[in-house]
Structure 1
């Protein structure tokens, strides 16, 4: 669903009045959070989609990693999952078995128990999970809340959308596709655990101001949400400056974008963001497209206090997460997002 349509639908819905609802849908956050007690809350999310690769087992792994990502982006620990399956009435059952096998293997890697699910007849294959996690109510990362001066970090390369589109046209090189699959199959667990470790260090409890995973709205779409602020929590909006040369891109992504393998979601994202984004004239068009590219199981975008920027990069590196410093938060101005 396009961000503009989703925004218009959610805007008219009433918010939950239950005080135990710590995070609802009002800020398009990565997951919902419901408080159970003084030191425990549930994190809940759901995600499913159609195949983006040809191999069923690989698709299952990617779908699982993508479903788990929202829990990690909130700082939670996934504990259980329910499978969601749409499958043709006369489809090959072996394909479904392989999808489930791939998903279960990734869930096992995350130490998240698959405890059931639901299936429907559907012309197109669809697969994913509803995932439940646990989190401390006072240690929830939100997708909004960047402060002026914050350093912006990104933990994965961009380009899964354009490469998946190239694959559908038989235009993706095997090596490039392999790199994209490896990225999409990689859990965001290590990055999340690294940030939690940073917070536990003396004086770093409030080092992390906002975290979100980069998925369907693309880097710029999720950066916009991070910049908007939250009046209820007294957090003022900021503007974000991004350096397109500091961002990692998957092998072949630049070529795929330049040759026009642009998914529909990329165009929707670009239309929705419109005047929110300003590009320096020297930014090539293929990189402008990649910053709007919808990602599957993308990395974490992190706003960290400037005095902890180097520490955050160091602890991420210690956990084998190749994060990059890609920008900075500045006082709010126009445009909301600027790319140089």
Structure 2
């Protein structure tokens, strides 16, 4: 498709097929850009309202990952013909609540009949051209911050494997092996993380002069960090040095890793991106799994310039936004991996 729509013929498409990023960016004028993205997925929790809220927060996250604000959304949905209308209404209501929280509007959408439910949004946002976040703008000296703990994919998988759909025979066999049930409080913490918008994180990033960032979703922390690092290293070789022990995990995540409650991302992500990552001998297998695992509606990974770190902290404190400093961007040789786990 990049050959069909070459950048040279569409100069106002600032970020698109030629330079993949978290969202497409179109120049409106010298000062403003339009951000466009879309996302949807099948249910990951049983409660329909929460499913809609998580899907909407996840869909809007790419706009925040680019440093923008959400303006207007369209619903994208598919439902089985026999799904009760009350359930459909709850899914849409959950999504609507998150869009309202973003001070944006849902202006329409499209729904099809599908054997399995899916829901998400097409999202339009705006940003200042001068404050746009890109994957390819991290510089040596930047501080790496993460704005949500990891483990949503692990915990929701644990909930599926040990929840109401598990047969009595499977439950008995699993417990005989010492594998734990999902703890309701752990699932509640994961849902709380997934439904939290990345809006405050983006606000803090803009205030701090951030130029490089991404959100953490299906490729896991390390996969998305590789994308950010390789794009940034195109101009000058850099390496993201991540302190594995400083990366936050949701309560219960390591217990469920030990039990093997993992998604396919725990295998596919290192298979695809692993050649770009080196780990110190002291980094445990469990920490590596946590950092490779897929996330849903994860936080932002931002490269904060040293001069803006204090301002970033101040805005996060004002907005009651948690964040964790997990590493730094360092100069590197061209033959070094772009990610090093410490």
TM-score computed with the length of structure 1 as normaliser: 0.90
Aligned to 1:213: 215
8 Å Cα contact 2:2-2:17 kept in structure 1? no
Confirm or deny that 1:303 pairs with 2:303. Answer: yes
Shift of the alpha carbon at 1:282?
Answer: 1.7
Confirm or deny that 1:50 pairs with 2:60. Answer: no
Confirm or deny that 1:128 pairs with 2:120. Answer: yes
Aligned to 1:110: 102
CA RMSD across the alignment: 1.7
Aligned length: 321
Q: Distance between the aligned counterparts of 1:219 and 1:26, measured in 2?
A: 24
Shift of the alpha carbon at 1:69?
Answer: 0.7
8 Å Cα contact 1:57-1:102 kept in structure 2? yes
Q: 1:206-285 maps to which residues of 2 (within 5 A)?
A: 207-229=209-231, 235-285=235-285
Shift of the alpha carbon at 1:31?
Answer: 0.7
Shift of the alpha carbon at 1:304?
Answer: 1.5
| SS of aligned partner of 1:28 | coil
Aligned to 1:177: 187
Question: For the structure 1 residues 155 and 24, does the alpha-carbon distance in structure 2 shift closer, same or farther, using more than 3 Å as the test?
Answer: same
Q: Distance between the aligned counterparts of 1:19 and 1:27, measured in 2?
A: 13
8 Å Cα contact 1:163-1:180 kept in structure 2? yes
Question: For the structure 1 residues 121 and 99, does the alpha-carbon distance in structure 2 shift closer, same or farther, using more than 3 Å as the test?
Answer: same
- Aligned counterpart for 1:78 among listed residues 53, 70, 73: 70
Which stretch shows the higher mean deviation, 117-126 or 10-19?
10-19
Q: Distance between the aligned counterparts of 1:305 and 1:226, measured in 2?
A: 15
8 Å Cα contact 2:229-2:240 kept in structure 1? yes
Question: For the structure 1 residues 28 and 252, does the alpha-carbon distance in structure 2 shift closer, same or farther, using more than 3 Å as the test?
Answer: farther
TM-score computed with the length of structure 2 as normaliser: 0.89
Q: Distance between the aligned counterparts of 2:271 and 2:310, measured in 1?
A: 35
Q: Distance between the aligned counterparts of 1:102 and 1:328, measured in 2?
A: 37
Q: Distance between the aligned counterparts of 1:318 and 1:109, measured in 2?
A: 17
Aligned to 2:328: 328
Question: For the structure 1 residues 58 and 280, does the alpha-carbon distance in structure 2 shift closer, same or farther, using more than 3 Å as the test?
Answer: same
| SS of aligned partner of 1:251 | coil
Which stretch shows the higher mean deviation, 47-56 or 135-144?
135-144
Q: Distance between the aligned counterparts of 1:185 and 1:227, measured in 2?
A: 27
Which ranges in structure 2 are unaligned for 5 or more consecutive residues?
163-180
8 Å Cα contact 1:144-1:230 kept in structure 2? yes
Q: Which has the larger radius of gyration?
A: 2
Which stretch shows the higher mean deviation, 279-288 or 180-189?
279-288
Question: For the structure 1 residues 87 and 26, does the alpha-carbon distance in structure 2 shift closer, same or farther, using more than 3 Å as the test?
Answer: same
Question: For the structure 1 residues 292 and 103, does the alpha-carbon distance in structure 2 shift closer, same or farther, using more than 3 Å as the test?
Answer: same
